[in-house]
Chain A
Amino acid sequence: MPKREDIKSVLVIGSGPIVIGQACEFDYSGTQACRVLREEGIRVVLVNSNPATIMTDPEFADATYVEPITPEFVEKVIAKERPDALLATLGGQTALNCAVALDERGILEKYDVELIGASIDAIQRGENREEFKKIVAELGGESAKSVICHSMDDLLAGAEELGYPVVIRPSFTMGGSGSGFAFDEEDLRRLGGAGLAASPTTEVLLEESILGWKEYELEVMRDRKDNSVIVCSIENLDPMGVHTGDSITVAPAMTLTDREYQKLRDLAIGIIRAVGVDTGGCNIQYAVNPVDGRIIVIEMNPRVSRSSALASKATGYPIAKIAAKVAIGYTLDEIENDITAGPNGSTAASFEPTLDYVVVKVPRFAFEKFPGADTTLTTHMKSVGEAMAIGRNFTEALQKALRSLEKPEAVFDWTQEVVELDKPALLEEIKLPTDGRLKRVMDTIRAGATPEEIFESTKIDPWFIDQLYLINEIAQEIIAAPELTADVLRYAKRHGFSDYQLGKMRGMTADVVRGVRHALGIRPVYKTVDTCAAEFAARTPYHYSSYDEETEVAPREKEAVIILGSGPNRIGQGIEFDYSCVHASLALSEAGYETVMVNCNPETVSTDYDTSDRLYFEPLTLEDVLEIVHAEQAAGPVVGVICQLGGQTPLGLAQALKDNGVPIVGTSPEAIHLAEERGAFGRVLHEAGLVAPKHGMATTFNEAREIAAEIGYPVLVRPSYVLGGRGMQIVYDDEALRSYIEAATEVTPDKPVMVDKFVDDAVEIDVDALYDGNELFLGGVMEHIEEAGIHSGDSSCALPPITLGAAEVERIRKATLAIAVGVGVRGLLNIQYALGSDVLYVIEANPRASRTVPFVSKATATPLAKAAARVMLGESIEELRTAGVLPATGDGGALPPHQPIAVKEAVMPFNRFRTPEGKQVDTVLGPEMKSTGEVMGLDSDFGRAFAKSQSGAFGPLPTRGRIFVSMANRDKRTMIFPIKVLADHGFEIFATEGTAEVLRRNGVATRQMRKHSEGVGPDGEKTTVQRILAGEVDLVINTPNGTSNAKSARMDGYEIRTAAVMANIACITTVQGLGAAVQGIEALRRGDIDVRSLQEWRDLVGHHDGGVSAK
């Protein structure tokens, strides 16, 4: 059945900002979908509010709307573009929910838009738990016994029937948000209540506990002729009870016989057919009782999911691409499996991939960013990213995956003395799944536990437990071996031990181990992911390393550039860096190079097998990268390695790579050091006549106190090498400084703490620039909306700057040029400035692609990362202007008139974290970055752009209703005018005592509300927090009190802010944010906010198109 000819244009909805449970895997799937549809000659209209995505690059769609993914805005797009069809199965739960809302409001019918991929009925059948259970039962399958609840009474009755513990699963939430276990009634009331609130349909499923069962997932693909294939089976190492996103998972399934596997397969195909996902992919999760094999179907996602991205990378079968093709009418046998050649030159997509390797995925968490958060893993996803590794056996894949996490504490370590290992305590500890449990399991094995004891505590399958024993036995042999012979080394490498681990065990450095290894000729070979276990030749060089016998790297003629990616997503290093790496690859491929990508993050576009000419799915450690460089140098000429685009991960490798004789392209490692080492950077600034806030370096509390005394409080303290502001804090007095230093475990003479003057009340400015050694191209000047002190990654900002004049931009340009020259930048440079009392302070400079590169590129229609890649390989800015990559004249500091205002807003994961007592973690922002993602609002003026950014990030700002205000004393003066404006617009203003008093004196009608600390009033008057939780408040404005205030005031603030998060309403925590919100609300009240595509803006503003088309 060929392509449907009645579909001429398709609206694709993306997944919006990166949040926990919905990360860049949907950029990967959406980008593939857009590519496929355009190749088929279909007009692609895209809506996605996330500017850091590849899919929102103007060349991937015909009309790209960086607009909020809300039914209101998407309707405007539909009205304007009149697409024939809507594809919502590739944009995660966000897109699916939006499609459902559009359907419910009759918008799809009104504009005659057909939902393709999965129909509304199929979505409902897949996601409505009662209907789904019925389907499973009809197929002869079993579901966990459960009760649907719509109220607390339902919940209590249900728990009575099922018996504790029970599982709580709210309907229609993403990433299992709001799910958890209730072991007693108190848990039930708390989690169940929150679950009812989180579900858009106020529906919670209460379920029998299947804790400790084996957990599996199958990825299914189906076309409109009912051809169905299983793309991949995935087995969770962590048994039932931990969200799949937080589990260590393994592909293919390791501990099923064919009979059991075929039962799962039959159920999967039966389910996708009965649910009616006619054209696309879905995944189905199962639990299997290890005692008797009883199978329970847990759930299905009637769309492409995070697991689909993993399955695509694990097998080489491009699920999103195929899903897009079947959505427009192709059948699987008509679609080519383009990774595998086959005897006739091609094979069809209607087969099931088979693997001759093992894939392991491990989650990466960010609990260190949320002090107080409960680190226990539950059915509620908490990880922020993941790393995947491929090996020829499980042990190799597992150890590669653990080192891919780039957390030194994640890899197994045998250097601790065994006597410190307390077996009974460890056996108790490992009962609770946590980040790093697997390492504690290994410690328990070292402490002498038996496999049976480990199983008793963890319910991890005995086969996996034995693999851990195998690793331990090898480690013990390595430690005991008289010398590191070729046999010992080969054996260890075959099971995934890194040079670093071996060195630690043998009391030598990784460099020495590597030297010995190379002298003995022990190097990895590179195998190929080919979907068919070598039955047919592979067409795509998608490689992974293994200590096996035969390598498959093909020789090549062209010069190669190796691009190092950014590894697992984490807070501070996410999709933005992948964006830059992908752009470099596309640009260099066009410029005639062979591009070689190295990365280990399965969610990304960079690890798509057709993004680069060659892909190495490998950990980003020195050892792994050096081996790839060696293999590629053996295959043909290598110009060098790009370390500048993948964030801190590759940047941290640059010097060591160079020391090992690897050519580094772009800014030299010495220049990187110059910018990152504060003393050296201070000299650069001094020579350029620039000032940094006063600062000093300390390795002890006394040193720090002296510096603080000299420069004056408040001071900003932080470690010298930072990522996403890790460990930064503003401290106001000696006591706070002391506790910071004492808590900072990693303070050593070579890792000192930086103590900076904190520039209060300053405007913070972020600059991305490009320097070729001669000319500076100012990419963009972003003005932060919040004052300095909030991490730039968490601040909202505007571009062009909303209050800076031409003279100030000129000062910034000069300073940026001076730093670029002084540091010796070749490529991208990001600088943060603070402008206070007319002094321009340089806060920090990063000679690399920054988090804001994609935002700047979208806002100014200039492909900065592409240009940077070419500058790094020797082209000049002038040449790039001539080539049309950069605009012929002007730059991001000198933008043309009619330039729209772009507002970036950060999205926080606060709703994901609770303390062990079940309380919400605080939502206050500071110098420590906490956001997971961002959105962009783009419009002709700031108010509208800001309103869009808020809609995209949190939901629309209210245009009427009740506002609760509680301001810190220092902010009371500045708040009066904006609050008055809001009152004039008809908002009812509520405030606590002090704030209410000030407002009334200034003529703003204000009603007083009880403070949380005051408790319920004598006549049952609710407190502020109760009113917020009851949904009686539409907007919260609360600026946090400084540290000197009374504890009760601080606690009130915490309660108010967390209540706002739980009630899912906007909460403004700065006066600058309040000002922006007022402008946004006014724009919304005018009701004239429209949508405009990036392509239209480009034509309007008169920019070029970037010159580089999608591959």
Chain B
Amino acid sequence: MPLHAHKEALLVLEDGRSFRGESFGAEGETFGEAVFSTGMTGYQETLTDPSYHQQVVIMTAPHVGNTGVNDDDPESKKIWVAGYVVRDPARVSSSWRAERSLDDELRAQSVVGISGIDTRALTRHLRERGAMRVGISTVETDPEVLLKKVLASAEMSGANLSDAVSTQETYVVPAVSTGSTTEGPRFRVAALDLGIKEMTPQRMAERGVEVHVLPATATLEDVLAVNPDGLFYSNGPGDPAATTAQVELLRSALAEGIPYFGICFGNQLFGRALGFGTYKLKYGHRGINQPVMDLTTRKVEVTAHNHGFAVDAPVGEETKTEFGIATVSHVNLNDDCVEGLELKDAETGKLKGFSVQYHPEAAAGPHDAAYLFDRFISLMAKEV
């Protein structure tokens, strides 16, 4: 391989800092919000996570693509990231499950990437200056010109992206048989797809739940039509403050007394439904090593994260809401950021709904928080 066999590529941040590297994946030009992910495994899951819509993901792990691409691990039907930044992409795929290379996959899905740059320098820059817009180009070589285009691109704050990533049609994920063939599903859940990952309905299905995945535009009637035992809001991209319809839907559902469970975006919207604000984190949490404490048990779980916004709720205090008493159930031990909410009936003290900011479905990530799906089952069974 001769030196620089790859085409050159240029990365420019909205504050003007630029990096020169090599083209990786598709050629062309792309823009988005620059975020970094610190997971050392699970690039396929990351790429296909709809929450990364309109984001350019920088991998802090230097070697990416080593295990190639298979058809089992994606979390949705396509790659969602707007652009991909890695230091040392693999030249061969090594896994008994690999079906093709990551480079080929990115090309096939027209995802523009850049490799060979100092990803740590870029990460440190984003850590110090905060997440910002970025452009990658294999056609434009002048940083000044590319910078102008970056400044003209869309910002993440205020963006409502749920509709873009959501399913257009309702579909059902059947409960996985628990061994007994005569039994039907234990529960039925209406899951609002705000950018849902495939592992989420699967984790519920494994527990005997039939999951009806509804489009983000679903109404209360659509939800009630499922006759659900519980309502679920998924993860997803965008600014929770720019989302109103789903917040209203959630408020109506809570008023109806439907048990609720939310993940990630679903946590932020739960927060807003309960009257809390949300805010943009300086550079977000994206990785699979975040320590979160469950404030009720004081146990720590290592969790998968992908969020740029957080709920602004008081830790250690009860908040009276029209639906009951809300408390912060989980916090991040790194920055004390709210990682979970709980709503209890003001009179009975019974759990009515809960949500977490992180990803108990993992994929990628540790399985420490899988118990939350059991908690949802208990909630629907009225055991808690």
Contacts and interface: CB of A to CB of B under 8 A. Distances in A.
Given A354-B38, A354-B60, A357-B62, A256 B67 contact: yes
Contacts of A721: none
B365 A262 contact: yes
A394 B94 CA distance: 15
B173 interface: no
Given A225-B298, A393-B87, A393-B88, A534 B60 contact: yes
A257 B97 contact: yes
Which of B19, B44, B120, B302 lies at the interface centre, i.e. has the most chain A CB atoms within 10 A of its CB? Answer: B120
Which of A348, A350, A355 lies at the interface centre, i.e. has the most chain B CB atoms within 10 A of its CB? Answer: A350
Contact of B73 (A258, A342, A348, A394): A258
A232 B23 CA distance: 31
Interface stretch (B190-198, B208-216, B289-297, B319-327): B289-297
A293 B364 CA distance: 18
A333 B291 contact: yes
Given A255-B66, A258-B45, A491-B3, A266 B367 contact: yes
Given A225-B299, A255-B94, A392 B87 contact: yes
B334 A549 contact: no
A226 B294 CA distance: 13
Interface in A274-291: 290-291
Nearest to B42: A258
B118 to A, nearest CB: 4
B62 A392 contact: yes
Interface stretch (A462-470, A763-771, A917-925): A462-470
B383 interface: no
A461 B362 contact: no
Interface in B358-372: 362-367
Contacts of A357: 62
B177 interface: no
Nearest to B65: A463
Interface stretch (B7-15, B121-129, B132-140, B347-355): B121-129
Interface in B40-90: 40-42, 44-45, 60-63, 66-67, 70, 72-73, 87-88, 90
Nearest to A293: B96
A74 interface: no
A256 B336 CA distance: 32
Interface in B244-276: none
Given A342-B335, A392-B62, A536 B120 contact: no
A536 B291 CA distance: 14
B287 A354 contact: yes
Interface residues of B, number: 59
B287 A347 contact: no
A254 B298 CA distance: 34
Counting contact residues on chain A (CB < 8 A from B), the size range is 35 or more
B367 A262 contact: yes
Contacts of A256: 41, 67
A819 to B, nearest CB: 51
A262 B300 contact: no
Contacts of A451: 92
Given A348-B333, A351-B290, A255 B120 contact: no
A616 to B, nearest CB: 17
Contacts of B19: 549
Contact of B44 (A257, A331, A350, A532): A257
Given A348-B291, A351-B291, A536 B127 contact: yes
A142 interface: no
B62 A356 contact: yes
Contacts of B178: none
Given A257-B67, A333-B291, A358-B62, A461 B94 contact: yes
Interface string B1-44: 11110000000000000010000000000000000101111101
B227 interface: no
A470 B89 CA distance: 12
Contacts of A488: 3
A161 interface: no
Nearest to B362: A262
Contacts of B63: 254, 358, 393-394
Contacts of B118: 548-550
B335 A344 contact: yes
Contacts of A331: 300
Contacts of B4: 487
A215 to B, nearest CB: 15
Nearest to B290: A351
A512 B363 CA distance: 51
Contacts of B335: 342-344
Interface string A385-406: 0000000111000000000000
Contact of B299 (A226, A353, A535, A552): A226
A904 interface: no
B299 A527 contact: no
A462 B120 CA distance: 27
Contact of B62 (A230, A292, A333, A393): A393
Interface string A238-262: 0000000000000011111111011
Given A226-B299, A254-B63, A350 B333 contact: yes
B289 A351 contact: yes
Given A258-B41, A358-B62, A536-B127, A462 B121 contact: no
B235 interface: no
A393 B19 CA distance: 18
A848 B317 CA distance: 64
Nearest to B283: A535
Contacts of A350: 291, 300, 302, 333
A533 B123 contact: yes
Nearest to A288: B96
B382 interface: no
Given A258-B364, A262-B367, A534-B124, A354 B61 contact: yes
A267 to B, nearest CB: 11
A461 B72 CA distance: 22
B299 A463 contact: no
B329 interface: no
A939 to B, nearest CB: 49
B216 to A, nearest CB: 27
A534 B127 contact: yes
A265 interface: yes
Contacts of A461: 94
A445 B129 CA distance: 46
A477 interface: yes
A675 interface: no
Nearest to A532: B38
A354 B87 CA distance: 16
Contacts of B291: 333, 347-348, 350-351
B107 interface: no
Interface string A537-576: 1000000000011101000000000000000000000000
29 contacts: A227-B299, A230-B302, A255-B94, A257-B44, A257-B95, A258-B42, A258-B364, A342-B334, A344-B334, A344-B336, A348-B334, A350-B302, A351-B290, A354-B61, A355-B40, A392-B87, A462-B92, A463-B66, A463-B92, A463-B94, A466-B94, A527-B120, A533-B60, A535-B60, A548-B120, A549-B19, A550-B120, A550-B121, A552-B124
Interface of A: 225-227, 229-230, 233, 252-259, 261-262, 265-266, 290-293, 331-333, 342-344, 347-348, 350-358, 392-394, 451, 461-463, 466, 470, 473, 477, 487-488, 491, 527, 532-537, 548-550, 552
Given A262-B364, A534-B120, 17 more contacts: A253-B40, A256-B41, A333-B300, A344-B335, A347-B291, A348-B334, A350-B302, A351-B333, A351-B334, A353-B289, A354-B289, A356-B60, A392-B87, A534-B124, A535-B123, A536-B127, A550-B118
Interface of B: 1-4, 19, 36, 38-42, 44-45, 60-63, 66-67, 70, 72-73, 87-88, 90-92, 94-97, 117-121, 123-124, 127, 287-291, 293, 298-300, 302, 333-336, 362-367
Closest 7 CB pairs of A and B: A258-B42, A550-B121, A258-B364, A549-B118, A533-B60, A463-B94, A258-B41
